[in-house]
Structure 1
Amino acid sequence: MVPRPRNKSNKGLPQNLYLDDRRGTYRYRRPTDGKWFQFGTDRVKAVDAAKQLNLAFMQGADLVGVVLGESAEMFTAFLDDYEKNLLPPRELSKGTLGLYAVHFRRFRREFEGKAVDQISIRMIAQMLDLLTPRTANQCRALLIDIFNHAAAKGLCPDNPAASTINRIEKKTRKRHTVDGLKAIREKAPAWLQNAIDLALITAQRRTDILAMKFEDVKDGYLYVVQQKTSKASDAAWIRFRVTPELQRVISHCRDNVVSPFLVHRRPDRKRQKQAETKEHWTKVEERYLTRAFKEAREAADCYKGWKEEEMPGFHEVRALSLHLYKKAGKDGQKIAGHASEGMTKNYQKEHAEVIWSEAVPDLDISEIAG
Structure 2
Amino acid sequence: MVRPKNKANKNLPAYLRYEVNTRTYRLTLINGKRKSIGKNKDQAIQIAIEYNRIARPTTGLMVDDLIKHSGEIKVEQLSFAQHVDQLLELIITEESPSKQLRDTMMNDANRVKEFFNDIATQDITLKHVHDYLNCYHGNSSANVHNRKLSFLQKLFNYAIDQSLMLENPAKRKMKKRNKAEKQRQRLSVDAYQAIHAAAPPWLQIAMELALQSAQGRLETSRIKYRINKPKEGQCGCQWWPEPIDGIYGTLFIHRQKVEDKEASHVAIPIGQVLKEIIERSRDGVVCPYVVHRVPDRNNEQSSLTDHRFQVDPNYLSRSFSDVRDELGLFDHLEMEQRPTFHEIRALAARKFFDMGIDPQARLAHTDSQSTKLYVENHLEWTEVPHAEIKLAN
TM over 0.5: yes
Correspondence for 1:318 among 332, 345, 358: 345
- Give the whole-Å Cα distance in 1 for the aligned partners of 2:161 and 2:322: 48
Task: Indicate the structure with greater strand content.
Answer: 2
Superposition deviation, residue 118 in structure 1: 2.2
- Alignment check: 8 A CA contact 1:71 1:77 kept: no
Match for 1:139 among 148, 152, 176?
Answer: 148
Matched ranges for 1:289-308 at <5 A: 289-308=316-335
Contact 1:246 1:361 in 2 (8 A): no
Deviations 1:7-61 (A, max 9, x none): xxxxxxxxxxxxxxxxxxxxxxxxxxxxxxxxxxxxxxxxxxxxxxxxxxxxxxx
Provide closer, same or farther for how the CA distance between residues 281 and 133 of structure 1 changes in structure 2, counting only shifts above 3 A: closer
Separation (CA, whole Å) in 2 of partners of 1:204 and 1:181: 15
Flag the 1:269–1:166 CA change in 2: closer, same or farther, 3 A. Answer: closer
Residue in structure 2 matched with residue 163 of structure 1 by the alignment = 172
Q: Give the match for residue 89 of structure 2.
A: 84
* Separation in structure 1 between the aligned mates of residue 202 and residue 330 of structure 2, nearest angstrom: 23
| 1:227 alignment counterpart | 256
1:96-132 C-alpha deviation (Å, 9 max, x unpaired): 3344345334433432322222221111123346354
**Structure 1 CA distance for aligned equivalents of residues 292 and 73 of structure 2:** 50
Contact 1:207 1:286 in 2 (8 A): yes
TM-score (norm 2): 0.67
In proportion to residue count, which structure has more helix?
Answer: 1
Partner of 1:222, secondary structure, is: strand
Cα distance in 1 for partners of 2:184, 2:313 equals 19
Q: Distance in 2 between matches of 1:294 and 1:342?
A: 36
- Separation in 1 of the partners of 2:225 and 2:304? 21
Q: Closer, same or farther in 2 for the Cα pair 1:125/1:68, shift >3 Å?
A: farther
Do the aligned residues in 2 keep the contact of 1:180 with 1:302 (CA within 8 Å)?
A: yes
Per-residue deviation, 1:332:
0.7
1:192–1:69 CA distance, 2 compared to 1 (3 A): farther
The Cα shift of 1:305 comes to 0.7
Instruction: State the partner residue of 1:332.
Output: 359
Q: Does 1:123 align with 2:128?
A: yes
Structure 2 residue identity aligned to 1:203? A
Alpha-carbon distance in structure 1 between the residues aligned to 2:88 and 2:271: 43
Amino acid at match of 1:120: T
**Residue of structure 2 aligned with 1:195, choices 181, 206, 211:** 206
SS in 2 for 1:317: helix
Check the 8 A contact 1:201/1:361 in 2, yes or no. Answer: no
**Pairwise CA distance, 1:275:** 8.0
- Structure 2 partner of 1:75: 80
SS of the residue 1:261 aligns to? coil
Q: Which string of whole-angstrom CA distances, capped at 9 and with x for unpartnered residues, describes residues 106-159 of structure 1?
A: 433432322222221111123346354322222222211211111222212211
- Paired residue secondary structure (1:226): strand
Letter in 1 for 2:251: L
Contact kept in structure 2, 1:148 and 1:159, CA below 8 Å: yes
Separation in 1, partners of 2:369, 2:95:
24
Give, in angstroms, the shift of residue 342 of structure 1.
9.2
Task: Return the alpha-carbon distance in structure 2 between the equivalents of residues 277 and 228 of structure 1.
Answer: 16
1:213 aligns with 2:243: no
- Name the structure 2 match of 1:149: 158
CA 329–342 in structure 1, closer or farther in 2 if over 3 Å, else same: closer
Distance 2:302 2:172 in 1: 45
1:340–1:89 CA distance, 2 compared to 1 (3 A): same
Alignment of 1:357 with 2:382, yes or no, is yes
Distance of aligned partners of 1:324 and 1:279 in 2 relative to their CA distance in 1, 3 Å threshold: same
Offset, 1:70: 4.7
The CA deviation at 1:254 is: 1.5
SS at match of 1:335: coil
Which letter maps to 2:255?
Answer: Q
1:59 match: none
Structure 1: distance between partners of 2:172 and 2:210: 40
Per the alignment, residue 292 of structure 2 pairs with 264
Provide the rounded CA distance (Å) in 2 between the counterparts of 1:173 and 1:68. Answer: 59
Match of 1:110 in 2: 115
Residue identity matched to 1:293? F
Answer yes or no: is 1:248 the counterpart of 2:290. Answer: no
* Equivalence for 2:101: 96
Call closer, same or farther: CA 1:119–1:342 in 2, change over 3 Å: farther
Aligned length: 296
Higher relative contact order (CA 8 A, sep 6+): 1
Aligned residue type for 1:252: R
Amino acid at match of 1:122: K
CA distance in structure 2 between the aligned counterparts of 1:198 and 1:232, rounded to whole angstroms: 23
Q: Is the 8 A contact 1:335 1:360 kept in 2?
A: no
Distance 1:331 1:211, change over 3 A: same
- Match of 2:10? none
**Counterparts of 1:185 and 1:276, CA distance in 2:** 27
What is the identity, as a one-letter code, of the residue corresponding to 2:209? Answer: L
Check conservation: 2:145, 2:176, Cα contact below 8 A.
yes
CA RMSD of aligned residues (A): 3.0
Select the structure of larger CA radius of gyration: 1
| Cα 1:172–1:325 shift into 2, 3 Å | same
